Structure 1
Amino acid sequence: MTNPVPAVGGNQTDLSKVAILEGALREDADRVRAGAQGLTTIMKFVDKGEGFYKDGSFIDHTNVAYTGAYGNVLIEGFSQLLPVIQPTEFALKEEQTNILYEWIEKAFMPILVRGELMDMTRGRSISRATGESHVQAMEILRSLVRIAESAQPEQKKQTSLLC
């Protein structure tokens, strides 16, 4: 996947989704591999800039706490792609998926409270008529369940406890 401007966060999961699905439909292993490798570029913690921090915060658009918006897009993308790639030769490595489970535990679970998603993590998406906090919470929970279903047994146990 060549892109003149490197994609990050949810934008990268969207690009990877297109590449993986296109590759699968065209029976093009190189395209699927490129999509899976695109996911690995964001599977890390950052010390500055955009991305997930070790303390559980997620920053996007330079300096906005966006776990409940762009983070939601990112985790949903992973939840849709893991069941597709994990049983194949393009599977993410265990150390990569461990990062994903750490994101879930540190970034997503703390902002889900009594079936609602904390508004302070939703940025401008709080103004969308169809984006009430309980609807957004359900989107994240749906993603977490999909991720748990595609997890290895030990990770599945840990992730299922979170859900």
Structure 2
Amino acid sequence: MNQGFCQLTSEQIANYMTAVERFQPTVDMNGANRVWECTVIAARGMIVKNNAKLEQAINGLTAVFDYVSDGGGFYTDGSFLQHSKHPYTGGYGKALLSELTSLLYVLGGSKCSVTAPGVRNVYNWIYDSFETVDGVEKSSASGWSETMPGVHWAHIAGDNSGRDIGYYFPGGWMIKGLRETRTGSWNEIQRTGSAEPLTRTYQNL
């Protein structure tokens, strides 16, 4: 626990937590702002030992996990919008992912673990939405294509821990990046495989 927090009196803690409840009593925003709201409410719930507040925060996260077809949030093609219409993958999108994974880690393994089915989409976001070239976030939209000269390094986030891919180009190199959505079935490459069509977004360098 933070040393400064330990030095607070019970009265000071109660006063601060009352102020937090006054200004952040509910979850009513979306995207990264919603995750921040849930984090504040969850933290207060843990400090004052209020299970109802923890449940409120956890339930508030459910809407964040779902893919959207319009407005703000993550799309199945890897793009992310904040404030309904602004592409913000490298800004609000990255902040959402950072704050959300921290909160999931804190709650994980406890009675308050997040069990919403959509939580598995977080792994997909990492794989589908984030690529960095020479420190610059690249577009997450399906159909993005760019030829980049003089590249020294590139990083593509994997779909799970330990599956990231990194590239280093001594002296700089011209590379082409492509993000596209493909549809196919296992049966097309192995006759004993399923014929059910699968659609995924792929990132190539």
TM-score, scaled to structure 1: 0.68
Distance 1:97 1:115, change over 3 A: same
Q: Is the 8 A contact 1:36 1:85 kept in 2?
A: no
Corresponding residue of 2:40: 18
- Structure 1 CA distance, aligned partners of 2:38 and 2:103? 9
- Structure 2 CA distance, aligned partners of 1:14 and 1:100? 16
SS in structure 2 at match of 1:112: strand
- Structure 2 CA distance, aligned partners of 1:162 and 1:74? 19
Shift of 1:51: 0.7
Relative contact order (C-alpha < 8 Å, sep 6+): which is higher?
1
Shift of 1:94: 6.5
Letter in 2 for 1:112: T
Shift of 1:113: 2.2
1:116 aligns with 2:136: yes
- Structure 1 CA distance, aligned partners of 2:83 and 2:119? 25
- Structure 1 CA distance, aligned partners of 2:121 and 2:96? 13
TM-score, scaled to structure 2: 0.55
Corresponding residue of 1:161: 163
Q: As a proportion of its length, which structure holds more strand? A: 2
Q: Is the 8 A contact 1:10 1:74 kept in 2?
A: yes
- Larger Cα Rg: Structure 1 or Structure 2? 2
Say which of 53, 56, 62 aligns to 2:78: 56
- Structure 1 CA distance, aligned partners of 2:93 and 2:113? 22
Corresponding residue of 1:130: none
Q: Is the 8 A contact 1:50 1:62 kept in 2?
A: yes
Say which of 59, 64, 80 aligns to 1:42: 64
Q: Is the 8 A contact 1:50 1:59 kept in 2?
A: yes
Corresponding residue of 1:69: 91
List runs of 5+ in structure 1 lacking aligned partners: 122-140, 149-154
Q: As a proportion of its length, which structure holds more helix? A: 1
Letter in 2 for 1:2: T
List runs of 5+ in structure 2 lacking aligned partners: 1-24, 141-155, 166-205
Corresponding residue of 1:135: none
